[in-house]
Structure 1
Amino acid sequence: MQLLEETPADWWEVEALYDLCFAPGREALSSYRLRDHVDPVAALCLLLRDQNGIAAAIRYWPVQVAGADLLLLGPIAVHPTHQGEGLGGWLIRESLARARDQGWARVLLVGDAPYYSRFGFARLDNVVMPPPTNPARVLGLELVPGAWDGVQGNVTPYAPMLEK
């Protein structure tokens, strides 16, 4: 199994994996509106490839809460023939370590707390994803101690400051 950064040539193969692993209409989810017209954080979009193709993939996107930059983790998927092998955990741990090394302070995701809590994610009561997101599934992780302190409000698309 090779751990690689996703390249533009991998895009459609990764999309096919997401189509295989998620329900039809996945792109109608509110988290996808936060990704519209925004490039993913390429250095954190990783995949695991074996002799048969992509076995697992993870992507990250920049978003903001009250002007604070953060990462939106997702989607992450593991091919059905590789589920239960720990590949998803491998991608999460590796990508979070890289995010920390690159200076990111906080990560957000929408997911199952019992699964993601083992990586340090916890419910964010004061961070609101666009509807119809279940608030109990809005989870965050501090890559820097105290990074979520005072960060509250609506999650909005990434809007970098324009240079003067």
Structure 2
Amino acid sequence: MTTDVSGLTQLGAHVEAPKSPEEAVMERVPSPHQGSAYVVRFTAPEFTSLCPMTGQPDFAHIVIDYIPGEWLVESKSLKLFLTSFRNHGAFHEDCSVYIGKRLVELLAPQWLRIGAYWYPRGGIPIDVFWQTGEPPQGIWLPDQGVPTYRGRG
């Protein structure tokens, strides 16, 4: 079985990191198992963005789960998209929900959720959760595996 990668522009090429999330190009490929309900998980344990007020770095452990419809996100383009936040100032809530909404816009998945587990700022961790609705019945949806804050690692 092969996947059609003919429209991809980033995979297999040297690509500079995008300057901002708005400029980042995420790409997609056809799902080879359309009509099957299965979960795809991406974990980014070293996500970085900037505080919009101080310019100081903020760090998060991001977990994205989705059930594909017709499309899968191409992982290199997702990695470049997530990297584009390193020089982007936005509050935790904005970064987290924006990532989810961009993926939904690109993929039109059957279902998607994002868990963004932010490391403490001012001694308080902020966790942000967003999903498109109730997960479909009958799927295996494992816990995201990130414990509540107790000195994350």
TM-score higher than 0.5: no
Q: Which has the higher strand share?
A: 1
Q: Which has the higher helix share?
A: 1
